[in-house]
Amino acid sequence: MFRLWFGLLITAPFLSAANSGESIYNEHCSSCHEREAFRKMPASRITRVLESGVMAAVAPLSKEERVAVAAYLGSASGAGARAEAFCRDRKVSIADSSGFAWNGWSATPGNTRYQTAAAANLTLEQVRNLKLKWAFGFDGDLTAFSQPAVIDGEVFTGSSGGAVYALRAASGCIQWTFQADAPVRTAMIVAALGPRHALLFGDQSAGFYAVEAESGKLMWRKKADDHPAARVTGSPAVRDGVVFIPVSSWEENFATEANYHCCTFRGSVVALRVRDGSQVWKTFTVSETPEVSGKNADGTPRMGPSGVSVWSAPTVDAKRGLLYVATGNNYSEPPTSLSDSVVAMELGSGKIVWSKQVTPKDIFSGCNACIDVKGPDFDFGSAAMMVSINGRDLLIAGQKSGVVYALDPDRKGEIVWQARIAKGSSHGGVQFGMASDGRNVYAPIADGELKRSPTGQRMMDPNDGGGLAALRIADGSIAWQAAPARVCADIPGCSPSQLAPATAIPGVIFSGALDGHVRAYTAEDGKVVWDFNTLREFQTVNGVKANGGALNGTGPVVVNGMVFVNSGYDHFGTITGNVLLAFAP
Ligand code: HEC
């Protein structure tokens, strides 16, 4: 999916002793990371990432080497949460009947990212007056990408440092913390379990966790997939005591290494019992086992078929007993039938009932030598939404190609309408998600290409991309289209692209951009009625040094008169940040 980290592996001559931090960086890290990026990250945190996190498989180093490179790259370690950051009363109680909830990727089961008037408790007039109520800093992080769950006044959020927090919504004070083994990017979801609750989330090395929501104690931990490149990026969905986990990978990036046997990862959905994590089923999106399918010019074996990650949250259709997932591209040849598709699986068994492929033969990865004809990299990065209009159900899916599709769930996904809203790119026409209020579909426009800056860094084009399109559900015609904002002049790493998912409440659509702004548009005509620039330092309630950056990956959460927004995202040179912001009128 992500076309990042290209660049030749520079095997630099050793500058000093073989295991000095600098030489390890040059040999094992510099092909993918700028040295500067880690300056603000605590060394202890980098060591952890190398030990058990996302980098463990990429750069197998000895303990001494890990510590040396972390000390060379990072800052002196932060001290952890200060005592004053904790709530005085640390009792967490969750009333399932409270009604004030945003639980999981979407507040609605159809993944429409819509919050009802009663639960949002926020009018268009109040949105105009939203003000910052508190800011919470993620210590040492460069990215804030875990969408919080907010239930009955409690906020649960993950972080790219792998720390998971329970916070009180009113003040942002900490009730408990839990440390996962790798970055936690999924939305949080809470499921009742007897008198208690399980908080469910995945991490970027494919770990999946159930933590007691009341106490932060680990209940169980499983691996969603054994492949070394596997990760859980899309958010889980829960139904009747079973959690459905979408599995993706970043093997596309592994494949940039010349001698990598590209590729062997297969996307999947895993269903686990909330009670104990035992597996109900696992369904792969590539049915064949990858085999050697030839050799590159340099003799490196080619493997395939592979890929078809599930990057987004599954959508539960209780009425039909189905689970819908939108899939990504193949990584290597041969192409398979479920890539760039919407796939319907039986909730109970995972059996594939139907699928609709919109871009066949989309083979794409970092391995240029493995693929004879490279595909356009048009994954689905966003969840399919279930909507109803005039008594008819439709599944709406937005693709990185810039096309939005409406599929008929009663006719095996037959296309009812399709509409192009963007030119499409590897970084998304539609990237991480749309919203719908039952009348229109609101699609943030990403577009935007990577360019080389004058200093040679890869960055998003500051003059390309962005905007928000409203499409009528009935026929896909454009109701309105809001132009991109142009505020990027002179801000390094700034881009108008809107990759982050939108959020809808009655009368208002929220959408964030890589320019660091979160904006509220009227649902009626797309006029901007509120615009908050997160590109600044914030005084945080937990005393952590924090600033805002690009908005990406996750979207605003609206509950009971408050709006929660993550800011900061470290990818293709976009603006880093480490803050969760809470707004109220
Ligand atoms: C083949 C490319 C590649 C190489 C080589 C590589 N990395 Fe990474 N690294 C990545 C990618 C991609 C990510 C982001 C993963 C994600 O999206 O979660 C990452 C993430 C990280 C993170 C976590 C950043 C965060 O915001 O939490 C750290 C720390 C890190 N790498 C350190 C290193 C170090 C140190 C080395 C060398 C010993 C190294 N990496 C080698 C590609 C690479």
Residue whose Cα lies nearest atom 26 of ligand 1: it is: 142
User: Do 347 and 443 fall into the same domain?
Assistant: no
Helix (H, G, I), strand (E, B) or coil at 492: coil
**Boundary-marking domain end, from 314, 348, 381:** 381
Residues of the chain with pLDDT > 90, as a percent, come to 76
Tokens read off for 254 = 């592994």
User: Do 244 and 303 fall into the same domain?
Assistant: yes
- For tokens 């009932």, name the residue: 353
CA angle 140, 145, 149 (to 5 degrees): 115
Name, in order, each residue with C-beta under 8 angstroms of 165's C-beta and a sequence gap of 6 or more.
136, 155, 156, 157, 158, 159, 174, 175, 176, 177, 178
Name, in order, each residue with C-beta under 8 angstroms of 154's C-beta and a sequence gap of 6 or more.
92, 94, 166, 167, 168, 169, 175, 213
Name, in order, each residue with C-beta under 8 angstroms of 55's C-beta and a sequence gap of 6 or more.
49
The answer to whether 252 and 364 are in contact (CB under 8 A) is yes
474 CB neighbour count, 10 Å cutoff: 15
Name, in order, each residue with C-beta under 8 angstroms of 153's C-beta and a sequence gap of 6 or more.
98, 100, 168, 169, 170, 560
User: Do 49 and 119 fall into the same domain?
Assistant: no
Tokens read off for 109 = 């089961």
Closest ligand 1 atom to the C-alpha of 2?
12
The answer to whether 100 and 549 are in contact (CB under 8 A) is no
Of 355, 371, 221, give the one whose Cα is nearest residue 297. Answer: 371
User: Do 479 and 576 fall into the same domain?
Assistant: yes
DSSP β-ladder status, 528-533 and 450-452: unpaired
User: Do 74 and 109 fall into the same domain?
Assistant: no
Looking at the domain assignment, is residue 394 inside a domain? no
188 CB neighbour count, 10 Å cutoff: 30
CB burial class (10 A; 0-12, 13-18, 19+) of residue 296? middle
* Cis previous bond, 263, omega within 30: yes
Helices (H), 77-135: 117-120, 124-128
Residue whose Cα lies nearest atom 36 of ligand 1: it is: 29
Q: Separation of 143 CA from ligand 1 center, angstroms?
A: 13
User: Do 445 and 538 fall into the same domain?
Assistant: yes
Give the whole-angstrom CA distance, residue 75 versus residue 432: 32
Q: Separation of 54 CA from ligand 1 center, angstroms?
A: 7
Q: Separation of 368 CA from ligand 1 center, angstroms?
A: 21
Q: Separation of 179 CA from ligand 1 center, angstroms?
A: 19
Residue whose Cα lies nearest atom 1 of ligand 1: it is: 254
Closest ligand 1 atom to the C-alpha of 250?
12
User: Do 261 and 356 fall into the same domain?
Assistant: yes
Q: What is the pLDDT of residue 13?
A: 33
Q: How confident is the model at residue 6 (pLDDT cuts 50, 70, 90)?
A: very low
Q: Separation of 71 CA from ligand 1 center, angstroms?
A: 15
Tokens read off for 211 = 């933590």
What's the full length of the chain, in residues? 585
Q: What is the pLDDT of residue 77?
A: 54
Which domain, by its residues, includes 364? 224-381
Tokens read off for 314 = 């599954």
Tokens read off for 36 = 């500067």
Closest ligand 1 atom to the C-alpha of 74?
29
Look at 72-81, 490-499, 549-558 and tell me which has the smallest mean pLDDT. Answer: 72-81
Q: Separation of 55 CA from ligand 1 center, angstroms?
A: 5
Give the whole-angstrom CA distance, residue 244 versus residue 347: 9
Q: Separation of 2 CA from ligand 1 center, angstroms?
A: 14
User: Do 501 and 540 fall into the same domain?
Assistant: yes
Residue whose Cα lies nearest atom 43 of ligand 1: it is: 32
Name, in order, each residue with C-beta under 8 angstroms of 385's C-beta and a sequence gap of 6 or more.
110, 111, 112, 113, 315, 395, 396, 397, 434, 436, 441
Tokens read off for 520 = 């509220």
- List pLDDT tens digits, range 411-425: 999 999 999 999 998
User: Do 545 and 439 fall into the same domain?
Assistant: yes
Residue whose Cα lies nearest atom 14 of ligand 1: it is: 54
Q: What is the pLDDT of residue 5?
A: 34
Tokens read off for 393 = 């159900």
Give the whole-angstrom CA distance, residue 345 versus residue 329: 19
Q: Which residues pair with 279 in a beta bridge?
A: 272
Residue whose Cα lies nearest atom 37 of ligand 1: it is: 29
User: Do 70 and 120 fall into the same domain?
Assistant: no
The answer to whether 237 and 264 are in contact (CB under 8 A) is no
Residue whose Cα lies nearest atom 31 of ligand 1: it is: 55
Q: Which residues pair with 392 in a beta bridge?
A: 389
- Would you give the distance in Å from CA 312 to the centre of its chain? 7
Helix (H, G, I), strand (E, B) or coil at 503: strand
Residue whose Cα lies nearest atom 29 of ligand 1: it is: 46
Pocket test for ligand 1, best of 2, 55, 309 (most atoms within 8 A of CB): 55
Pocket test for ligand 1, best of 1, 49, 65, 365 (most atoms within 8 A of CB): 49
**Tally of structural domains, the chain:** 3
Q: Separation of 53 CA from ligand 1 center, angstroms?
A: 9
Q: Separation of 183 CA from ligand 1 center, angstroms?
A: 11
For residue 303, what is the domain's CATH number?
Answer: 2.40.10.480
Of 460, 411, 409, 429, give the one whose Cα is nearest residue 571. Answer: 460
Give the whole-angstrom CA distance, residue 379 versus residue 381: 6
Looking at the domain assignment, is residue 94 inside a domain? no
Looking at the domain assignment, is residue 147 inside a domain? yes
Looking at the domain assignment, is residue 39 inside a domain? yes
Look at 2-11, 44-53, 357-366, 368-377 and tell me which has the smallest mean pLDDT. Answer: 2-11
Q: What is the pLDDT of residue 54?
A: 63
190 pLDDT above the threshold of 50: yes
Residue type, 339: S
Closest ligand 1 atom to the C-alpha of 570?
26
Residue whose Cα lies nearest atom 15 of ligand 1: it is: 54
Span 354-371, mean pLDDT? 92
Q: What is the pLDDT of residue 366?
A: 87
Tell me 460's DSSP state. E
Q: What is the pLDDT of residue 371?
A: 85
Pocket test for ligand 1, best of 2, 38, 54 (most atoms within 8 A of CB): 54
Residue whose Cα lies nearest atom 41 of ligand 1: it is: 29
Span 3-24, mean pLDDT? 49
**436 compared with 17, residue with greater pLDDT:** 436
Assessment of whether the complete model's pTM goes beyond 0.95:
no
Closest ligand 1 atom to the C-alpha of 28?
37
Q: Separation of 37 CA from ligand 1 center, angstroms?
A: 10
**Boundary-marking domain end, from 344, 359, 381:** 381
Looking at the domain assignment, is residue 256 inside a domain? yes
- List pLDDT tens digits, range 119-131: 999 999 999 999 9
426 pLDDT above the threshold of 50: yes
Residue whose Cα lies nearest atom 39 of ligand 1: it is: 29
Looking at the domain assignment, is residue 397 inside a domain? no
User: Do 257 and 115 fall into the same domain?
Assistant: no
Q: Which residues line ligand 1 (CB under 6 A)?
A: 5, 28-29, 31-33, 46, 49-50, 54-55, 58-59, 69, 73, 142-143, 160, 183, 204, 250, 253, 256, 570
Name, in order, each residue with C-beta under 8 angstroms of 13's C-beta and a sequence gap of 6 or more.
none
Look at 73-87, 308-322, 452-466 and tell me which has the smallest mean pLDDT. Answer: 73-87
Q: Separation of 49 CA from ligand 1 center, angstroms?
A: 8
Give the whole-angstrom CA distance, residue 70 versus residue 41: 9
User: Do 376 and 231 fall into the same domain?
Assistant: yes
Give the whole-angstrom CA distance, residue 152 versus residue 500: 25
Looking at the domain assignment, is residue 114 inside a domain? yes
Helices (H), 4-109: 21-28, 43-52, 63-73
Name, in order, each residue with C-beta under 8 angstroms of 448's C-beta and a sequence gap of 6 or more.
425, 427, 460, 461, 464, 465, 466, 495, 496, 497, 514
**Can you say whether residue 277 is alpha, beta or left, with left for phi > 0 and alpha for psi between -120 and 50 degrees?**
left
Across 487-506, b (16+ Cβ under 10 Å) vs e yields: bbeeeebbbbbbbbbbbbbb
Closest ligand 1 atom to the C-alpha of 366?
1
The answer to whether 349 and 281 are in contact (CB under 8 A) is yes
Give the whole-angstrom CA distance, residue 426 versus residue 448: 9
For residue 449, what is the domain's CATH number?
Answer: 2.40.128.630
- List pLDDT tens digits, range 451-484: 887 777 778 889 899 999 999 999 999 999 999 9
Q: Separation of 433 CA from ligand 1 center, angstroms?
A: 25
Closest ligand 1 atom to the C-alpha of 69?
35
Looking at the domain assignment, is residue 413 inside a domain? no
